[in-house]
């Protein structure tokens, strides 16, 4: 056996001739929604959130005697265009971080199964370092360490705060992606490597032509889940001075200076994130179910 | 030394192989001439599969030598690709690429490894699928094919590299009894065309009918070997006789 051809793990080598496994029994009724599944779903959560907000607002309203001022929905509506712009910025940051993190993470994940021990160890170290660091700390590091502009061949490339924030958020994404990738590669049966080997494929060709295409399906659910988590983490950038939806909300609240606005305003923003992320998590669950059976 | 067809195409000499402390092959020797069909039989754990995996360097060996067409297989300077072109292998679990259609599975290695012209490769791949009686299944994915059909695609895929020797590692062991036959017919066709075939098998009837020579291995050594008629009807060693009495 050519030792360098097969994927490497840090501790144990992949099980030779992995056996086909019996799939768990699935009851035929599993596809039908039960009553509690019909009653308690994502939209119930949203309704509960809004209802809760309404009760709180009523109380604060009554206490502050703000009845003669503009109504809360009117104010929310007034600020919506500004806040939406901020939210769009959050989405943009999440998409860019995800793109950078995914590309780097896939590369790092492949290096984690490299036949070269030094490469494998280094990739593992980088992955573990970023995976086990708080996102906020990484964000601060990027904001503080990356200069505001870099000169390359006399050309000044500016690095505004939001670009640094994108880089800061892409680091943990990279680390998670790297782990998912490693797991996906190792989950491909060893027979695939062997048959490619016996057909004369090099290790690189096997990776590109046989292994990586098969990991896409396995990665999709975790990848989407990671994206939802990342999107929900984007308000962190407001702490490091990027004008995202949270920063703008705070400004709006300061401008209005009304106590009874606090809860509805934040809940308003919360519901946007919910509406954006919930379908993603639903889709993830559906994909997981779809791919779970196909080994 | 250049190889000529009057010399053994595969020559195995005193091969030793161990996995850690476990000695699997304890000095196995056999010579296989071009066009011969060899069946290796024996109880499980006797090292049959390990032996044929050593022939195309999927496993390394600790001692002895294996040559294919005069070329030492376990040589650090070996041109892997040269060996892969000479020796094709079919596995018990088919190991087709599930994300490619039957036709793409057959075409992949000639295209990517040998860098041959796409049109020629496709023509040859279609001919190969027809040869293994899978006409009309070109665009099906492995998941849509039965075990026997998948195994025949796997055979076509190996043949696409134009090998001189084919290794079959218990290729019917994972199949339904009805589909075993269709795979065996394919192998029979190959043998009739003069392909050198080395099979590890539990199909005694098939071995008896088709093999030129049968080797019986047990506990890492060749206990007995001979042409099928003498081997099945006149086994000398008590271990062979016991094994045959259980499987026949």
Q: Are B113 and A192 inside 8 Å of each other by CB?
A: no
The arithmetic mean of pLDDT across residues A116-142, rounded, is 94
A160 part of a folded domain: yes
Q: Are B112 and A201 inside 8 Å of each other by CB?
A: yes
Q: Are B81 and A210 inside 8 Å of each other by CB?
A: no
Tell which B residues from 101 to 160 touch A, by Cβ distance under 8 Å.
108-109, 112-114, 143, 154, 157-158
The arithmetic mean of pLDDT across residues B79-87, rounded, is 87
State the Cα–Cα distance between residues A65 and A172, nearest whole angstrom. 47
Which of the residue ranges A145-154, B67-76, B123-132, B206-215 would you say has the lowest mean pLDDT?
A: A145-154
Closest residue to A205, CB basis, from B89, B112, B158: B112
**Using the 8-state DSSP alphabet, how is residue B237 labeled?**
S
A20 part of a folded domain: no
Q: Are B60 and A1 inside 8 Å of each other by CB?
A: yes
CB A243 within 8 A of CB A201: no
Most B CBs within 10 Å: which of A16, A195, A203, A219, as the mutation test of the B interface?
Answer: A195
Per-residue pLDDT at A13: 43
The arithmetic mean of pLDDT across residues A26-32, rounded, is 57
CB A283 within 8 A of CB A224: yes
Q: Is the pLDDT confidence value at A233 over 50? A: yes
Closest residue to A198, CB basis, from B56, B98, B112: B56
Whole-angstrom CA distances from A6 to A12, A186, B108, B142, B179 are: 13, 10, 20, 23, 32
A93 part of a folded domain: yes
Q: Is the pLDDT confidence value at B245 over 90? A: no
pLDDT tens digit string along A89-101?
999 999 999 999 9
Q: Is the pLDDT confidence value at A26 over 80? A: no
Domain residue limits at A202: 42-54+70-292
Most A CBs within 10 Å: which of B56, B58, B78, B96, as the mutation test of the A interface?
Answer: B58
Q: How far is B39 from chain A (nearest CA, A)?
A: 20
* Other Cβ atoms closer than 10 A to A67: 8
Cα A143 to the center of its chain, rounded Å: 20
Q: How far is B213 from chain A (nearest CA, A)?
A: 25
Per-residue pLDDT at A11: 45
Most A CBs within 10 Å: which of B78, B81, B109, as the mutation test of the A interface?
Answer: B109
State the Cα–Cα distance between residues B13 and A136, nearest whole angstrom. 64
Task: Looking at the structure, give the CATH architecture of the domain made up of residues B10-247.
Answer: 3-Layer(aba) Sandwich (3.40)
Chain A residues whose beta carbon lies within 8 Å of the beta carbon of residue B143: 294
A21 part of a folded domain: no
Q: Which residue of B has its CA nearest to A216?
A: B99
pLDDT band at B124 (very low <50, low <70, confident <90, very high): very high
Mean pLDDT for chain B overall:
90
pLDDT tens digit string along B22-39?
888 999 999 999 999 999
Chain A residues whose beta carbon lies within 8 Å of the beta carbon of residue B60: 1-2
CB B195 within 8 A of CB B20: no
| Nearest one of A167, A147, A142 to A157, comparing CA atoms | A147
A-B contacts at Cβ under 8 angstroms: 63
| Nearest one of B168, B192, B165 to B9, comparing CA atoms | B165
Q: Are A198 and B97 inside 8 Å of each other by CB?
A: no
Q: Is the pLDDT confidence value at A9 over 60? A: no
Per-residue pLDDT at A257: 84
Whole-angstrom CA distances from A168 to A98, A105, A126, A241, B100 are: 11, 14, 15, 13, 38
Per-residue pLDDT at A15: 46
Q: Are A214 and B98 inside 8 Å of each other by CB?
A: yes
Report the percentage of chain B scoring pLDDT > 70. Answer: 100
Per-residue pLDDT at A3: 58
Which of the residue ranges A164-168, A261-265, B93-97 would you say has the lowest mean pLDDT?
A: A261-265
Closest residue to B95, CB basis, from A2, A192, A201: A192
Tell which B residues from 22 to 81 touch A, by Cβ distance under 8 Å.
56-60, 80-81
Which of the residue ranges A22-36, A237-251, B82-96, B222-236 would you say has the lowest mean pLDDT?
A: A22-36
For residue A101, report the phi and psi dihedrals to the nearest 5 degrees: -60, -40
Per-residue pLDDT at A154: 77
Q: Is the pLDDT confidence value at A23 over 60? A: no
Q: Where are the domains of chain B?
A: 10-247
pLDDT band at A16 (very low <50, low <70, confident <90, very high): very low
pLDDT tens digit string along A41-89?
778 888 887 787 777 777 766 666 555 677 778 888 889 999 999 999 9
Residue where the block lists tokens 């109504």:
A71
Domain count across chain A: 1
Q: Is the pLDDT confidence value at B131 over 80? A: yes
Closest residue to B95, CB basis, from A1, A194, A294: A194
Q: Which residue has the higher pLDDT, B234 or A207?
A: A207
A36 part of a folded domain: no
Q: What are residue B87's DSSP bridge partners?
A: B165
Per-residue pLDDT at A12: 43
Q: What is the dihedral of CA A229, A234, A240, A246, to 10 degrees?
A: -130
The arithmetic mean of pLDDT across residues B208-222, rounded, is 90
Q: Are A199 and B109 inside 8 Å of each other by CB?
A: yes
Q: Is the pLDDT confidence value at B152 over 60? A: yes
CATH number, position A80: 1.10.3720.10
Chain A residues whose beta carbon lies within 8 Å of the beta carbon of residue B93: 17, 20, 189, 191
């Amino acid at each position: 056996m050519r030792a360098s051809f097969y994927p490497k793990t840090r501790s144990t080598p992949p099980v030779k001739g992995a056996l086909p496994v019996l799939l768990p029994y699935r009851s035929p009724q599993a596809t039908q929604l039960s009553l509690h599944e019909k009653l308690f779903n994502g939209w119930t959560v949203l309704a509960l959130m809004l209802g809760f907000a309404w009760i709180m607002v009523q109380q604060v309203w009554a206490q502050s005697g703000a009845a003669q001022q503009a109504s809360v929905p009117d104010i929310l509506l007034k600020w919506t265009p500004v806040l939406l712009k901020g939210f769009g910025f959050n989405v943009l940051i999440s998409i860019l971080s995800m793109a950078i993190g995914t590309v780097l993470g896939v590369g790092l994940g492949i290096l984690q199964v490299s036949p070269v021990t030094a490469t494998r160890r280094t990739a593992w170290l980088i992955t573990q370092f970023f995976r086990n660091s708080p996102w906020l700390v990484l964000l601060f590091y990027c904001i503080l360490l990356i200069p505001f502009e870099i000169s390359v061949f006399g050309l000044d490339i500016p690095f505004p705060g939001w670009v640094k924030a994108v880089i800061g958020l892409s680091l943990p994404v990279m680390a998670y992606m790297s782990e998912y990738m490693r797991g996906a590669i190792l989950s491909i049966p060893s027979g695939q490597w062997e048959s490619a080997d016996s057909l004369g494929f090099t290790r690189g060709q096997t990776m590109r032509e046989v292994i990586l295409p098969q990991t896409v399906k396995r990665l999709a659910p975790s990848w989407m889940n990671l994206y939802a988590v990342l999107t929900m983490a984007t308000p962190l950038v407001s702490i490091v001075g990027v004008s995202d939806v949270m920063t703008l909300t705070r400004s709006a609240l300061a401008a209005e200076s009304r106590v009874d606005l606090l809860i509805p305003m934040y809940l308003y923003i919360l519901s946007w994130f919910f509406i954006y992320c919930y379908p993603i998590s639903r889709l993830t669950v559906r994909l997981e179910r779809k791919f779970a059976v196909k080994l | 030394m250049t190889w000529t067809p009057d010399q053994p195409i595969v020559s195995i000499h005193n091969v030793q192989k161990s996995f850690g402390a476990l000695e699997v092959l304890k000095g196995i020797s056999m010579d296989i001439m071009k066009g011969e069909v060899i069946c290796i039989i024996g109880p499980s754990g006797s090292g049959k599969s390990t032996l044929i995996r050593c022939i195309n360097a999927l496993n390394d060996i600790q001692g002895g030598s294996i040559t294919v067409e005069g070329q030492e297989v376990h040589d650090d300077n070996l041109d892997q690709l040269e060996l892969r072109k000479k020796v094709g292998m079919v596995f018990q679990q088919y190991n087709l690429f599930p994300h490619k259609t039957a036709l793409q599975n057959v075409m992949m290695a000639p295209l990517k490894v040998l860098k041959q012209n796409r049109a020629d490769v496709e023509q040859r791949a279609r001919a190969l699928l027809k040869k293994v009686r899978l006409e009309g299944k070109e665009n099906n994915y492995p998941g849509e094919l039965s075990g026997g059909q998948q195994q025949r695609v796997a055979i076509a895929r190996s043949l696409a590299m134009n090998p001189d020797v084919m290794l079959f590692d218990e290729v019917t062991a994972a199949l339904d009894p009805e589909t075993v036959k269709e795979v065996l017919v394919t192998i029979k066709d190959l043998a009739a065309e003069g392909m050198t075939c080395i099979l590890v098998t539990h199909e005694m009837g098939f071995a008896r009918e088709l093999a030129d020579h049968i080797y019986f291995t047990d506990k890492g050594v060749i206990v007995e070997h001979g042409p099928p008629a003498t081997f099945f009807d006149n086994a000398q060693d008590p271990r062979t006789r016991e094994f045959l009495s259980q499987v026949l």
